[in-house]
Each structure stands twice: as structure tokens, then as C-alpha cells.
């Protein structure tokens, strides 16, 4: 059975997703920082974030009851908190 798609309910929901998942992803900065047509330094960002509120993003799903991103590649220097390890202090 395919996973259900997940879509942020609002900006706070997206921010929570970014801190839980995107912040620990190697591709969080997309293709790196860039300079716009006015010479301003623009921070690099994952392309999926741009489409967060545009339409269903196929890479964002609900897997085992938790939000997930199929493009996620864990940053070994900054690993995400494991979503499936049982909690010592629930």
C-alpha cells in the first residue's frame, strides 16, 4: 500500500517539519548559496520547500504514522532523532 501524502497545515507546521527532518538532511541547502539578479546573497534551500504550499509534494508522506520525506539523506554529523526507537521517558 502506498504511503499517504503529507502537506503542511501552515507555516508553523512546515517549520516543525523543517526542524525535525530538513535540518538533519544533507540536501537541506539545495545546490548551495547563490546570488540573485540584484547581487544579493541568497541562502540555498531544498527545492521541495518552494513547493510546500503549491500542491501535493509526492516526496512528503506519512510513513508509519509519522511525517517523512523520501528525498531525505541523513547528515552523519547531525543525525535526526530516531523516529522509531522507543522512548525511555515517555
Partner 1 sequence: MKVARTDFARLLSAVAKVVESRNTIPILATVCLVAEGGTLTATATDLDIEISGSIAAEGDFAACLDAKLLTGIVTKVAGDEITIEQGDGTATLRAGRSKYNLQTLPVDDMPSMAVDGFTAEFTEDLAALFAPVQFAISTEETRYYLNGIFLKGAVDTGSQAVALTAVATDGHRLAKHVASGVSAFDGIIVPRKTVGLVPKGNITVRLSASKIQFVADGTTITSKLIDGTYPDYQRVIPSRNDKIVTFSGDDMARAAGRVSVISSERGRAVKVEVVNDQATLSVNNPDSGNASEDVIVSYANEEPITVGFNSAYLGELVGIFPPGDVKMALSDGAGPVLFTSDNAPNLLAVLMPMRVH
Which residues in this chain contact partner 1 in the complex, by CB under 8 A?
A: 21, 24, 64, 68, 70, 72-74, 76, 79-89
| 21 vs 46, beta carbon nearer partner 1 | 21
Smallest separation, CB 50 to partner 1 (Å): 22
Q: How many Cβ atoms are within 10 Å of 13's Cβ, its own excluded? A: 14
> Closest CB to partner 1 among 50 and 66?
66
Q: Is the dihedral of CA 6, 52, 9, 77 positive or negative?
A: positive
**Residue 74: CA count within 13 A, CB half-sphere:** 9
Shortest CB 64 distance to partner 1, Å: 8
Amino acid at each position: 500500500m502506498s504511503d499517504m501524502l503529507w502537506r503542511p497545515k501552515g507555516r508553523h507546521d512546515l517549520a516543525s517539519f523543517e526542524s525535525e527532518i530538513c535540518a538533519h538532511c544533507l540536501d537541506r541547502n539545495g545546490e548551495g548559496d547563490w546570488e540573485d539578479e540584484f547581487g544579493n546573497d541568497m541562502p540555498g534551500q531544498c527545492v521541495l520547500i518552494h513547493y510546500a504550499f503549491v500542491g501535493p509534494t509526492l516526496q512528503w508522506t506519512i510513513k508509519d504514522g509519522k511525517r517523512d520525506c523520501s528525498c531525505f539523506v541523513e547528515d552523519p554529523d547531525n543525525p535526526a532523532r530516531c523516529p522509531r526507537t522507543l522512548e525511555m521517558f515517555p
